[in-house]
Amino acid sequence: MLESDNNDDRYAIPAVEMIAFLLDNCFLHSSPDPDINYQKLFVSVQKFHFKSANMSRMEAAIKIYALLWRMDVIRGDAMKKLTGMMLHPYPKVRNLEERIKIEPLKEALTEIFSEYGNIIDIVAKTNLKAKGQAFIVFDNVDSATRAIEEINGFELFEKPMVLDYARTRSDATVLKERGETELEAHKRRRLAEKERKQAQEALEAQKKLKRGAAAPGGAEARPSKVTRGAGLKPSTAAAAPVIPDEYLPPNKILFLREIPDTLDQDGLTAVFGRFEGFKEVRMVPGRKGIAFVEYEAETGAISAKEATSGMPLGNNGKPIRVTYQRQ
Report the C-alpha gap between 270 and 304 in whole angstroms: 12
Q: Which stretches does DSSP call E strand in the chain? A: 91-94, 119-123, 134-138, 155-156, 159-160, 162-165, 253-257, 278-283, 291-295, 312-313, 318-319, 321-324
Report the C-alpha gap between 81 and 75 in whole angstroms: 10
Pick from 84, 314, 319, 93: which is nearest to 192 by CA?
319
Please give the single-letter amino acid code of residue 216: P
Contact (CB, 8 A) for 272 and 254: yes
Please count the CA atoms within 13 angstroms of the CA of 149 that sit on its side-chain side. 12
Q: What is the DSSP string of 232-256?
A: ---SSPPPPPPPPGGGPPP-SEEEE
Per-residue pLDDT tens digits for 215-234: 665 544 454 444 444 444 44
- Which class in CATH covers the domain with range 88-175? alpha beta
Per-residue pLDDT tens digits for 7-19: 454 555 555 555 5
DSSP annotation of 325 reads: P
Looking at residue 175, its pLDDT comes to 67
Same fold, 88-175 and 181-216+245-324: yes
Contact (CB, 8 A) for 123 and 134: yes
Please count the CA atoms within 13 angstroms of the CA of 28 that sit on its side-chain side. 17
Pick from 168, 321, 185: which is nearest to 257 by CA?
321
Domain boundaries, the chain: 9-75, 88-175, 181-216+245-324
pLDDT below 50 — which residues of the chain? 1-7, 9, 27-33, 49-53, 83, 85-87, 219-221, 223-239
Single pTM value for the model: 0.36
Annotate 238-254 with b (16+ C-beta within 10 A) or e (fewer): eeeeebeebbbebbbbb
Which residues have C-beta within 8 Å of that of residue 33, sequence separation ≥ 6?
A: none
The CATH-assigned architecture of domain 181-216+245-324 is 2-Layer Sandwich (3.30)
